[in-house]
A and B are shown apart, each in its own frame.
Chain A
């Protein structure tokens, strides 16, 4: 009857993290708390919790504390931890899962990186409507939303220089078959957002 008990229990936070991380088994249960991940992380010093710490917290079911942490948002996707992890845990992919969960639960607002999801959302706004990213629009909207003074500084120095050197477009480019891409993305979202 042990099997029935296992299958009928409510999924824990730990189960949810594994379920929502695509790409095969992320090996989260294999963590031996060695700390190689945090030691290898370029932005580890600015994180509320190192990946090792987060994994222990996930195991302990500390959902809110994990999703309030700035750590996933400070992950720069450099994959050093993943390369060095002796247990082959898909650390970077788990960080992406935690980002999505923090947005879903609204807990990112309480982290010190509360503006980070806004940047990603602005980025994908252009992708979902044009099929291409749009650097000028992205930088302008992101800064106007969160750092109006920075927006002026950016526009007056780096932005102008990028424009002058022909490294930035004034208008976004749209792919030809945008209706096809919209249908694909709409369907993907309908299937569940996560896999």
Chain B
């Protein structure tokens, strides 16, 4: 299967592990990615706060280049692994179709650079979407040579892959399950992670660190409460916040979290038996090795779940005995 590919700035450097592991799993899955030539930044959440039309035009240039390049013949599907890039590309295409004035203005700006984009010509999709829907869970399970038995994984989606729902979404905006099923097909034990679609704080670490650290703390605590060995994510911003800021959270709140945060593509690569060196392992701040060492060759029969406390220890009201 051939797809257009928009890596985005993060995958070039900060999320290089995501890029390496995506390329590594593409081959066994029969996926060919064709990168948009000379793509530019999507503007993240910053450009829209300064200049709306310039922001839409910035994204529009990428869509115009992608449509011009006829990346994968008539299907013209563009895959973005970063949730922020995915949303900006998707949303710009959608809003240009909804809003004639925006469409005209963006195209007037693009024309200054000799480009044009008709909304709807490129179908923007997230990497997770094509993996679970085009490849499918069964085909993935068939590629697994080293199942991730005994590894408890909390699947973390964050925000921009499933929201806003006013735009058609491939998964539920509040309670997505695609990453859960994918993790399950790799043999791992899936944690039913209540905060799986909550926010990591995005750029708030730079605006109000206290607000951001609290959001990160909630996610880490929730994963720890559910006995997760690791968190698996699909967005460079989420990975950076949960991983690189974990020590700051510990200092700030006096906690002692030590939960590695990997990309789902890294786990797929490990389950496919690919070498850790090709999957960008070791780039994470919180070392994932101790968690990965828990993987056993056989599924353990005994659940490691915490036992419920005996009823007697709960502060239950007691009814007075009838006389």
A76 partner residues in chain B, CB cutoff 8 A? 159, 199, 201-204, 215
What distance in Å separates the Cβ of A144 from its nearest Cβ neighbour in chain B? Answer: 13
- A74:B211 contact, CB within 8 angstroms: yes
What distance in Å separates the Cβ of B239 from its nearest Cβ neighbour in chain A? Answer: 10
The contact of B283 among A165, A177, A193, by CB within 8 Å, is: A165
Is B141 in the interface zone, CB < 8 Å from A?
Answer: no
Is A77 in the interface zone, CB < 8 Å from B?
Answer: yes
Interface residues on chain A, number (Cβ under 8 Å):
68
- A181:B51 contact, CB within 8 angstroms: no
- B112:A77 contact, CB within 8 angstroms: no
The contact of B13 among A97, A168, A188, by CB within 8 Å, is: A168
- B206:A168 contact, CB within 8 angstroms: no
- A142:B206 contact, CB within 8 angstroms: yes
Is B275 in the interface zone, CB < 8 Å from A?
Answer: no
Q: 1/0 per residue A67-84: CB within 8 Å of B?
A: 000000110111110111
Q: 1/0 per residue A115-151: CB within 8 Å of B?
A: 1110111011011000111010001001000000000
Is B173 in the interface zone, CB < 8 Å from A?
Answer: yes
What distance in Å separates the Cβ of B243 from its nearest Cβ neighbour in chain A? Answer: 10
B206 partner residues in chain A, CB cutoff 8 A? 119, 139, 142
- B174:A83 contact, CB within 8 angstroms: yes
Is B225 in the interface zone, CB < 8 Å from A?
Answer: no
- A124:B113 contact, CB within 8 angstroms: no
CB nearest to A173 among chain B residues: B12
Q: 1/0 per residue B133-174: CB within 8 Å of A?
A: 000000000000000000000000001100111100000011
Is A32 in the interface zone, CB < 8 Å from B?
Answer: no
- A187:B109 contact, CB within 8 angstroms: yes
The contact of B50 among A23, A120, A168, A192, by CB within 8 Å, is: A120
A74-B211, A120-B50, A195-B101 known; A79+B16 contact, CB < 8 A:
no
A168-190 residues with Cβ-Cβ distance < 8 A to B are 168-169, 173, 175-177, 180-181, 183-189
A31-52 residues with Cβ-Cβ distance < 8 A to B are 42-43, 46
- B46:A188 contact, CB within 8 angstroms: no
The contact of A100 among B9, B51, B244, by CB within 8 Å, is: B51
B163 partner residues in chain A, CB cutoff 8 A? 78-80, 82-83
Mark the stretch among B53-61, B186-194, B315-323 that contacts chain A: B53-61
Is B44 in the interface zone, CB < 8 Å from A?
Answer: yes
A78 partner residues in chain B, CB cutoff 8 A? 159-160, 163, 198-199, 202
Is B250 in the interface zone, CB < 8 Å from A?
Answer: no
- B47:A124 contact, CB within 8 angstroms: yes
What distance in Å separates the Cβ of A134 from its nearest Cβ neighbour in chain B? Answer: 8
- B112:A186 contact, CB within 8 angstroms: yes
Is A5 in the interface zone, CB < 8 Å from B?
Answer: no
Is A63 in the interface zone, CB < 8 Å from B?
Answer: no
11 contacts between A and B (CB under 8 A): A23-B98, A74-B204, A83-B164, A97-B52, A100-B52, A119-B206, A123-B44, A135-B14, A184-B58, A185-B54, A186-B112
